[in-house]
Amino acid sequence: MLLLLLLQVSASCLWLGHGEVVTSFESSCPQFFFRETPPNEALEPESPAWICQRYNNQYYFATLYDRNRRIPVYSAYLYQPGPGKRPKTWLVEPQLMGPIYPKTMEREYTLLNHFSVSLEQLSKSQAILQDYKNLTGLNRGHLNPSSHHSNPNSRTATFTLTNIVPQDEKLNGGAWNNYEQQTMIRSTKGCNTTYVIVGAVPGNNYIARGRVNKPSHIWSSACCEVDTNHRKAWAVIAENDKNKVQLLTLGELEDVLTHLYGRDQVSLFDSSCPRE
């Protein structure tokens, strides 16, 4: 046991500065944000975790995670859709338990059987598979969907429990799916690079005996670079108990989120991304 712990600490030291749970996105994985500018602090929860989502030693997107509510605040990624199979294996983030654990997402089974981690220990740091079993009227709703990625590794990376929320099943399979699969294709025509941030507003209800928050709203925003001098943006929001998506400007979404959070003015992208 002591030897295993020493090996884990040694591995952690070798990757120092490249960890998955980081102190800021600007210094660790800024490439997922337009002009390397993450959203401002207006969305930050009381107990945040900044995760550069690593799979097979490569970063694929960034997630701000709410440790207390056990849901992501938002996930940020580059829109690069392509054909491929939907992954089936769900992963978790070992580093949420502490820096001695692997800095790449792993299966629950791997942690429990090869790193002497107990399910209770894992469940204190994040949502686990058991939390999402026997859902009624809800799905495991991705913020960053696998279909917006073009290769097997990037698709698999989206299947971490830190990238999903309890989402209304009709919304997830209906209007929200239409936005992800159809509206995004139309909206990104002519775009060279599209930066996307998808988030969830915490609600008053929970699943899994109060462990995992059910968001009141799901939202998505995008900033697209047409060329070096031209950009366009769009956004949507949906109440998490209705099968309806509302199309907004980026500025309108930021104002709605500012009202819902009741804090400072929300800013999702660098100021050069159009708000109108």
Predicted pLDDT at 20: 83
- Are 230 and 255 within 8 A, CB to CB? no
d(CA 36, CA 54) in angstroms, rounded, equals: 18
Model confidence pLDDT, tens digit, residues 90-121:
999 999 999 999 989 999 999 999 998 999 99
Q: pLDDT tens digit string along 247-270?
A: 999 999 999 999 999 999 999 999
Domains of the chain: 21-261 (3.40.570.10)
In this structure, are residues 22 and 178 in contact, taking their beta carbons and an 8 Å threshold? no
CA dihedral 162, 71, 170, 255 (to 10 degrees): -120
1 pLDDT band, cuts 50/70/90, is very low
Alpha-helical regions (H) of the chain: 2-14, 25-28, 108-114, 119-125, 152-157, 169-173, 175-178, 184-187, 250-261
pLDDT band at residue 161 using 50, 70 and 90 as cut-offs: very high
pLDDT at 192 over 70: yes
- Return the pLDDT at 10: 39
- Do the beta carbons of residue 246 and residue 240 sit within 8 Å? no
DSSP code for 181: I
- The helix/strand/coil state of 30 is helix
The two three-digit tokens of residue 5, written as one number: 């712990």
C-alpha dihedral sign at 35, 20, 148, 265: negative
pLDDT at 228 over 70: yes
Q: Report pTM.
A: 0.92
Alpha-carbon distance of 138 to 153, in angstroms, equals: 27
Q: Which residue has the tokens 């550069």?
A: 52
Question: Cβ atoms within 10 A of the Cβ of 210, count?
Answer: 8
Average pLDDT, the chain: 93
Q: Measure the CA–CA gap between 234 and 184, rounded to whole angstroms.
A: 10
Closest CA to 261 of 250, 272, 253: 253
Q: Token pair of 226, please?
A: 């047409």
The pLDDT value recorded for residue 17 is 31
Return the structure tokens found at 144. 């960053």
> Average pLDDT for residues 144-152, to the nearest whole number?
97
What tokens were used for 214? Answer: 């059910």
C-beta separation of 228 from 246 below 8 A: no
